[in-house]
Structure 1
Amino acid sequence: MALQVLLICLISIIVFVSIIWKKQNKTLLLPPSPMALPIIGHLHLLSSNPHQDFHKLSIRYGPIIHILLGSVPCVVASTAEAAKEFLKTHELSFSNRPAQTVAVEALTYGFQDFLFAPFGPYWNFMKKLCMSELLGGHMLDQFLPVRQQETKRFIKRVLQKGVAGEAVDFGGEFITHSNNIVSRMILSQTSTENENQVQGMRKLVADAAEFIGKFNISDFVWFLKLFDLQEFNKRLKQTRDRFDAVLERIIQQRQVERRNNKETGRTRPFKDMLDVLLDIFEDQNSEMKLNKENIKAFIMDILVAGTDTSAITVEWAMAELINNPRVLENARKEMDIVIGKNRIVEESDIENLPYLQGIVRETLRIHPAGPLLFRESSRSDVVCGYDIPAKTRLFINVWAIGRDPNYWDNPLEFRPERFIENGQTQLDVRGQHYHLLPFGSGRRGCPGTSLALQVVHVNLAVMIQCFQWKIDGGNGKVDMEEKSGITLPRAHSIICVPIPRLDPFPAL
């Protein structure tokens, strides 16, 4: 009986809230919207690949649509013109990220990180710190030897398996390589140094990324927050606690090392990101005081955001080259002419490889690592004639914009030549062209763009120059199915035998 009474009360509350919401929104001119269902809104229209579903809805309802994800109001922008309105003309109204999810709140220590922190003094401080020190030119130059060492290790691993005729899971190899680079830049650790700790960290990073990208019904249907229907919270807490324990141990070890170095007058060869963050943590006169939760949350940001996105892009590029042998052959010809066969390509060579740059841009256009940009309105605004209330989530469908036939001829064709004119690569990917936004735009644009582009170009160049790829079955083709998530990984990793292409192979 008590359960029946509770159910009746709950339904009554839902109906009452729905009536109030409809009355309030009758006075607003909202963007076009499909028919919504009670309680769940438009959740029934979305699959595990919402960027594809949003694209289909935009074709029917227009470049800006209004949807309800449960009780959460959202707008979706699916054209370059609409994206520019939100990200440039009305940027101040949409400078927040929608952080109100259980996973993000837990893994960022209550939004004390950088990526999901509210727009304000702390976020401005961290943005400035990222651009000037943590991910600035000096830090990237300082860690060039690290990237070179990790690239050589990557080549050696692949070469050994290629000589032995063994197939390689390149999805896993690219992830390992990216993780080693990012781990060394943040913590000066790799999988060859303290294997157990780093392998454990890699697993935690993968788990954290999965939680952030995983659909949790309680985030969208308000009255379900009282329940843990998917046992999401329990598993999330376990991952968060393990992550916290590992980070706490790493920070404590580094603090002991710093104290010992101070007492003995020794110094580290160079500062990694953790050292920079601890310098601010210990500086009583710092412009913004950081606590340990800020440091842990920032490390989580960089590990999660920096590990898989670069790897995903390289693997998608590799897939496109396998399925487009003409493009692969052109890339190899450019490599042989510019680099030759007596040495391995390096970062400094990239500017002289416009066709390679075109391949990367074309990959980012068709397969952006982040198919949706996320924002949230901090205040009410009128965009393109539509009323957008405060606390409305904004999705910029980068995936759809990159395939818009109004901007791209034969948009589904992989054609790097579209980015090359008079032997020079055209169209920057840093957010200045709103029909190509793989790294976002404006204040909330990706601060790690320069690092990502360096890693992606070199890794792909190495694969093109050093190896041929033997694919078993499927007429030498690979599938192009996408896997669900906040990023855009391949559903099936590329597994093939890497055949050494250079003979003799340059010394490593």
Structure 2
Amino acid sequence: MVVVLLFIILTFLLFFICKQSNQRWIKSNSRPPGPRGLPLIGNMHQFDTSNTHLYLLQLSRKYGPLVSLQLGSVRTLVISSATVAKEVFKNHDITFSSRPALVGTQKLSYNGIDFAFAPYSDYWRNMRKICTIHLLSTKSFQSFCPIREDEVTKMMKKLSNRAAGFNIVNVSETVMTVTSSIVYRTSFGKIDDEDDDQDYTGYNNKMSRQIHWVLTESQACFGRFFVEDFFPQLGSFIDKLCGSWTRLEKSFNKLDAFYQQVIDRRLNESTASAKECSILDILLQMKMDSSDFTFDHIKAVLMDILLAASETSAAAVIWAMTLLVKNPKTMKKVQQEVRELIGKKGFVDENDTQQLDYLKAVIKEAMRLHPPVPVVPRATMKKCVVSGYEIEDKTRVYVNLYAIGRDPAFWENPDEFIPERFLNSSIDIKGQDFELIPFGVGRRMCPGLTMGLAMTELVLANLLYHFNWELPPGVEITDIDMATLPGLTTQKKNDLCLVPVININ
């Protein structure tokens, strides 16, 4: 009886909140089109959180490149075309440069003191400048090159042992392992008790297990549903009542303890025992230089780097390998390019990848079809007019990079894998060509683009150089599905498993 009474009271309160919000939304006679919603919840009953990018793509095909939604009491705008994206980020970049203050991201970013999820402000500009100069500079990028090449070399040796016995390899886990290990060493340095005999056919080494655990916990926090995200005035009470906040707090405390453990270990190491410089060392030096830079700042930045680098780079390589396996002629063509350049050298280094034009075209095409982060959240900071429609301030914005990459107005045969479209083309992925923006665009585009792309090219090039890849016995090309998992990144739902055969030519 008490539960029923509480439900009735909450329903009336939500009705009042949504009514007020809907009245503010409806006042504009020039809002973009969109599906009709229900009282109280708006379009929340229609919103697909498992495959958000696909749901938003379907909406754009029905209502156009700008779609309005009402998610609870939150005004929401969806951008799904290169033309609109260009208009928005050319003419209104500052207006669209903030982030929505979602419960999960706020908690994991230590109340928005990082540079990925912080709202647009003087603080964010200063943080981005600091991180760009100290963490993601050309000098830092070059200093971490030996780590990237060393981890890929280890991966190739272990894969060669597997290939000698014609064993099936889980490529998805192998790629996630090597990217995780690279990011771990780049972020925290090489630890003394690390297991150098790494399997690279799954999460079997200490570094990869820890990073995998961090990513799993973080994704759970990001993916968890919070009523407060859609009903800010009342949702916090409901989330606490339902236990959502308690579960978030528990996950956050575990992650915080992990970051603190890594920091304490690094502080206790002598300079002589530290095997290699890391991002953590740079952050600790920044803390020594400024009293305003705290341990929480360090943890928030580490969270950004771990999430932005590990899963996105792994997803890019896995989708590229998946598409190549489904297109054998393209696979042979890119392998021929790599092998003709490298010859008997035995390893593709980062200098070599700069000369592999077709490999770069393959990666661009894979990112066009499967951007690692398919939907980018933004928030408006003031009213503006886009394509004749009035957009209110504090509107939550979803930029659907997945739909933009398949925009038929810009791409011929947009759903087909054709890397040749990028040969002799000026289109790049650095945020200047709005039809291909897998790393975002404008002020909030990914500052780690150079590092992430280098890791993707290095891993993929060596996988293609060293091995021919065959399907397991009884598996046909048509059996390889393209289903995705829910989350910030578009990870392949079912692992890609193949048989590596050593290239003897």
Can you give the 5+ residue segments of structure 1 that lack an aligned partner in the other structure? Answer: 504-508
**Deviation by residue 1:248-294 (Cα, 9 ceiling, x = unmatched):** 1221222233xx54xxxx5957532111111111114x7xx211111
Change (3 A) 1:398 1:221: same
Map Cα deviations across residues 153-187 of structure 1 (whole Å, 9 max, x no partner): 11112111111222111111111111111111111
| Structure 1 residues 209 and 502, CA gap change in structure 2 (3 angstroms) | farther
Alignment of 1:85 onto 2:80: no
Shift in Å, 1:133: 2.2
Alignment partner for residue 255 of structure 2, among 243, 262, 270? Answer: 243
SS in 2 for 1:15: helix
Q: Kindly indicate whether the alpha-carbon contact (under 8 Å) linking 1:51 and 1:372 is maintained by their aligned counterparts in 2.
A: yes
Q: How far apart in 2 are the matches of 1:5 and 1:230? A: 16
Asked if 2 retains the 8 angstrom alpha-carbon contact of 1:191 and 1:198, the reply is: no
Alignment of 1:316-355 (within 5 A): 316-355=319-358
1:506 maps to none
Render the CA deviation track for 1:172-214: whole Å, top value 9, x for unaligned. Answer: 1111111111111111037971665763343122221232134
Distance 1:190 1:313 in 2: 28
How many Å apart are 1:56 and its aligned residue? 1.0
- Give the secondary structure class of the aligned counterpart of 2:166: coil
CA contact (8 A) 2:43 2:71 kept: yes
| Separation in structure 1 between the aligned mates of residue 346 and residue 170 of structure 2, nearest angstrom | 25
1:276 is aligned, of 270, 282, 297, to 282
Aligned partner of 2:484 in structure 1 is 482
Distance 1:124 1:475, change over 3 A: same
Equivalent residue for 1:105?
106
Is the alpha carbon distance of 1:466 and 1:312 closer, same or farther for their aligned partners in structure 2, counting shifts above 3 Å? same
Q: 1:180–1:191: 8 Å Cα contact kept in structure 2? A: no
CA displacement at 1:2 relative to structure 2: 5.7
Q: What residue number does 2:199 align with?
A: none
- For 2:242 and 2:138, the matched residues in 1 are separated by 44
Question: How many residues matched?
Answer: 490
Q: Say which SS state the counterpart of residue 345 (structure 1) adopts.
A: coil
Residue from 313, 318, 325 that aligns with 2:316: 313
CA distance in 2, matches of 1:214, 1:349: 42
Matched to 2:220, the amino acid is E
Report what 1:209 is aligned to.
219
Q: Which amino acid aligns with 1:39?
A: L
Q: Report % sequence identity.
A: 34
Structure 2 portions without partners, runs of 5+: 196-204
Counterpart of 1:383 in structure 2 is 386
Most deviating of 381-390 and 397-406: 381-390
For residue 376 of structure 2, give the secondary structure of its aligned residue in structure 1. Answer: strand
| Cα distance, 1:192–1:466 mapped onto 2, change above 3 Å | farther
Residue pair 1:171, 1:494 contacting (<8 A) in 2 also: yes
2:265 to 223, 232, 253: 253
- Please say which of residues 193-202 and 269-278 is displaced more in the overlay: 193-202
Aligned twin of 1:301: 304
Are the counterparts in 2 of residues 469 and 498 from structure 1 also a CA contact under 8 Å? yes
TM-score by length of 2: 0.92
- Say what the alpha-carbon RMSD is for the aligned residues: 2.2
Displacement over 6 Å in runs of 4+? none
Moved more, 103-112 or 319-328: 103-112
| Residue in 2 that maps onto 1:491 | 493
Once the two structures are superposed, the pairs formed by residues 173-184 of structure 1 within 5 Å of their partners are: 173-184=174-185
Name the CA distance, whole Å, in 1 between partners of 2:46 and 2:498.
37
2:236 aligned to which of 225, 232, 240 = 225
What code does the residue aligned with 1:184 have? R
1:7 Cα deviation (Å)? 4.1
Relative to structure 1, the CA distance from residue 18 to residue 239 in structure 2 (aligned partners, 3 Å threshold; closer, same or farther) is closer
C-alpha separation in 2, matches of 1:296 and 1:94? 27
Residue 433 of structure 2 is matched in structure 1 by 433
- SS at structure 2 position matched to 1:327: helix
